[in-house]
A and B are shown apart, each in its own frame.
Chain A
Amino acid sequence: MGRFLFRSVVSIMVTMVLVSILLFVLLDPRDGEVLVKILGIESTPEQRESLANQLALDTPIMQRYVDWVIGNDWRAERLIGKDLAIITDPRTGDQIWYVDDGDGRFLQYEVDENQMIVPLVRQEDGSYAKEEGLDLWQTDENGEKFFWGVDGKGRGALWDQSGATEFVTTQTGWQELAGAPVDYIPLRKGVLRGDAGLSWRTGRSIFNSVTERASRTFILAGLAFVVVMPLALVFGIIAGINEGRPLDRIISIVGLIGTSSPEFVSGLIMIFVFALTWKLFPTQSADLTGQGLQPKHYVLPVLTLTAVELGYVVRMTRASMVDVMKAPYIRTAIIKGMPYRRVVFRHALRNALMAPITIIMLHINYLVGGIVVVEAIFAYPGLGDYIFESAIFGDVYALAAAAMVTVIVAVLTRLFGDLAYTLLNPRIRFS
């Protein structure tokens, strides 16, 4: 057992490494299309170049992969020469990087028009106070002056005296600012340490968004699971013990039609019937009023998931039940004169449930896939919706992080499925 667990954990880790490399290489924004998406179609090449620099897209892919996985704060700390600290802004809840001055002050920097470096000291309420400009410039071997610090947006930044400019978004659009750094390190701790950086689409921490939305998706998936499984097992068993009779045919065909209708078809039909015609439930599950999600918001998404998932699990349970009912020991029990009910419940059921339980665990993978579509239809603010929106926008790091979460869920449920199978099946447990 210990050996099995060890092997599984190693295999999961290798899988995750492969998945992360695959995602990163595949999603690498090599043609800069995302820059056009962020800046708009009328942006100039200079604006795109500036943004690519600010997002560190101009560094080699290996470097970005390392940054993404284990973070780049340690690299920035070496360049700056001081410790960095991450502090939550009490006004917005965002996490912002500062240079830890060592004497209880947390600093960011900017360069003023006199080429002086101005420390911005963090105040208790999250705002900052400007101090006198100082000459903190360092000199490299060519005599050029440079300074590594953290800029006003919490990014690692390299200033020199070339008078570089940057493009920033303001309320009036994109503006060019003087006194900008020439190189940036978008600070993050890396996915391994629970920080995937900021989303390009929303500007918020990817990690916070993903955890918040994953918890909502978990609720939806859990509800669907609780509704689907008992129904599916009951119908599957009924169909299985009536193999070939009209009841079996009806259950199988209805299940097949349900499974063969894509989520968006059944979802739209549900909306049409329950939301537009009968006006029982809202068409959208988004929290529009700010009062939080009510139970009525969950009904249609769960029903849609049920329609699609039910047929599949019924099919598995039925097939397994049919197999078991053909086994010699069932025939023997029936011939022996044992009551039919007892044969089904005591002898057949235990053996028939083994296959569905492992397949159900594998099926969580499909459930998550279905949830992506259902959340997109009903605008349910979950992880699937986040994946979809990120994919549309081309927010590749957010997409990669969210996809990693779905993969982790998949490999862990598979592990649980294997464990359950091993525990339930004495033939494997004792071999």
Chain B
Amino acid sequence: MATEKSKAPTVWSNVRNYMSLVADSRIATIGLAMVSFWLVMGLLSFVWTPQDPNASIGIPNRGPQEGLILGTDRIGRDTLSRTMAGTQVILMKTRVPELSVGSYMFGAAAFAAVVLVLIALPWASDKRTRRKGILWLIAAMFFIPIANAISGATGLNDIMIPKYSIPMGVAIWGVLGSLTLGSTLGLIAGYRGGNWDQVIMQILDALIAFPRIVLYLVVITALGQGDLVMIFAIAVTGAPGVARLARSQALEIKQRDYIRAAETRGESIWYVMFREILPNAIGPLLVDAMLRVGYAVFTIGTLGFLGRGLPPPEPDWGNMINLARPSFAQAPLAVLVPAFAIVTLVVGLNLFADGLNEEITRYQK
């Protein structure tokens, strides 16, 4: 029994299996190549760019010339260097601003509360562990008030932690967030059904009803511009879609015999959800996540263009286009190069997802 269990596919082993299919699909390989191009550009920009991306070194609004292969923007900065460095904020690094210890405590408490809710919801939906789950849910409600009270009483709000960066970009963290939130809620809704399904999907429907860009604008208006806010916005806007997909997968998979077997063995709801259902539902979720990274790049670009995107000084493709827009006629490259970057990265992610999807469905048939 024990050996059989260890052979059962896990989420990671399935992700690895699916990723090994990429080479079989020409479309996915082309997509991966396009994405890798920007990944390499972004990594390269950390150690070397042709010019300093934030320094104005040339004559403004000029075409290609010596040392400035793709010309300059409105304030004489090198378009090529800036486009290369533009990969950083969306895919490579997330800038954490200067925040007080109190804000960190608030963040940690909010994060812990969300994690606790995600852990406790499946328990609360199972008869055997309902009491434990509800107790944890009640406990989660006190996290933020307690953190606020402590930081308010001890003056932690005045101690500032300087800004720094963490690896992986805004788009990646945001999609990981929506995957975690969405798949947990969707699995509970699909596996439990009944009232759980109704309530969870009703709440998520309220979020899905917003046109995406409107919800982003609302969140950014409410919380201000910043990398962390953008991650939050991506996670919240993406979660309902992920949840719908995870729910439909769970509805189908829960009919299968191995789920019945696990239930009969008396496995916990967590085991059934994450060891039995999730590994078998991960294929479509993975493909969907690739597409979501593409949407996120697209939306960050749009918000940057509207002047509500990621904050300066690091270059951001949408913001570059916004800046270069008034002098489009004189220096079209300053608009077209970052536009090309957005389009190729999004097309690459789409092709990657499409090719992967074709291979996965073929593999399953």
A residues near B (Cβ < 8 Å) are: 11, 14-15, 18-19, 22-23, 26-28, 256-257, 259-265, 268-269, 271-272, 276, 365-366, 368-370, 372-373, 376, 387-388, 391-392, 394, 396, 399-400, 403, 406-407, 410-411, 414
Contacts and interface: CB of A to CB of B under 8 A. Distances in A.
16 contacts: A15-B206, A26-B218, A26-B219, A27-B222, A260-B294, A260-B298, A261-B343, A262-B298, A262-B342, A264-B301, A265-B321, A365-B209, A365-B212, A370-B213, A391-B308, A392-B308
Contact of B214 (A268, A276, A392, A403): A403
Interface stretch (B99-107, B116-124, B126-134, B327-335): B327-335
B202 A15 contact: yes
Contacts of A23: 218
A428 to B, nearest CB: 16
B339 to A, nearest CB: 4
Interface in B181-217: 202-203, 205-207, 209-214, 217
A5 B282 CA distance: 34
B305 interface: yes
B306 A373 contact: yes
Given A27-B221, A27-B222, A369 B342 contact: no
A27 B347 CA distance: 34
Given A27-B222, A272-B332, A392 B307 contact: yes
B347 A403 contact: no
A260 B307 contact: no
A151 B325 CA distance: 47
B34 to A, nearest CB: 11
Contacts of A366: 211-212
B347 A256 contact: yes
A265 B325 CA distance: 10
B302 interface: yes
Name the residue among B205, B211, B218, B343 with the largest chain A CB count within 10 angstroms: B211
A35 to B, nearest CB: 15
Given A15-B205, A256-B350, A272-B328, A372 B213 contact: yes
B318 interface: yes
B339 A268 contact: yes
A391 B307 CA distance: 11
Contacts of A369: 211-214
B278 interface: no
A406 B202 CA distance: 18
Contacts of B360: none
B89 interface: no
B39 interface: no
Main secondary structure of the interface of B (DSSP, over half): helix
Given A276-B329, A372-B213, A22 B305 contact: no
A410 to B, nearest CB: 5
B68 interface: no
A259 B295 CA distance: 10
Given A272-B329, A391-B218, A365 B211 contact: yes
Contacts of B80: none
Interface of B: 202-203, 205-207, 209-214, 217-222, 294, 298, 301-302, 305-308, 318, 321, 325, 328-329, 332, 335, 339, 342-343, 346-347, 350-351
Given A19-B209, A27-B218, A369-B214, A260 B347 contact: yes
B217 A26 contact: no
B162 to A, nearest CB: 23
Contact of B206 (A22, A376, A399): A22
A213 to B, nearest CB: 14
Contact of A368 (B211, B307, B335): B211
Name the residue among B302, B321, B350 with the largest chain A CB count within 10 angstroms: B302
A388 B217 contact: yes
B218 A257 contact: no
Given A26-B219, A260-B350, A262-B301, A268 B325 contact: yes
Contact of B218 (A276, A403, A414): A403
A269 B346 CA distance: 18
Given A15-B205, A369-B211, A260 B217 contact: no
Contact of B209 (A15, A26, A394): A15
A326 B52 CA distance: 55
Closest 3 pairs (CB-CB, A-B): A369-B211, A18-B206, A260-B346
Given A264-B305, A268-B339, A396 B221 contact: yes
Given A26-B222, A399-B221, A260 B206 contact: no
B63 to A, nearest CB: 15
Given A27-B221, A260-B298, A372 B211 contact: yes
A428 B352 CA distance: 35
A94 B103 CA distance: 44
Nearest to A362: B208
B342 A265 contact: yes
Given A265-B342, A369-B212, 10 more contacts: A22-B206, A260-B347, A262-B298, A265-B321, A268-B328, A368-B214, A369-B213, A373-B302, A406-B211, A410-B211
Nearest to A368: B211
Nearest to B224: A33
A399 B347 contact: no
B302 A264 contact: yes
Contacts of A396: 221-222
A265 B219 CA distance: 24
A284 to B, nearest CB: 13
A286 B31 CA distance: 40
Contact of B220 (A18, A365, A368, A391): A391
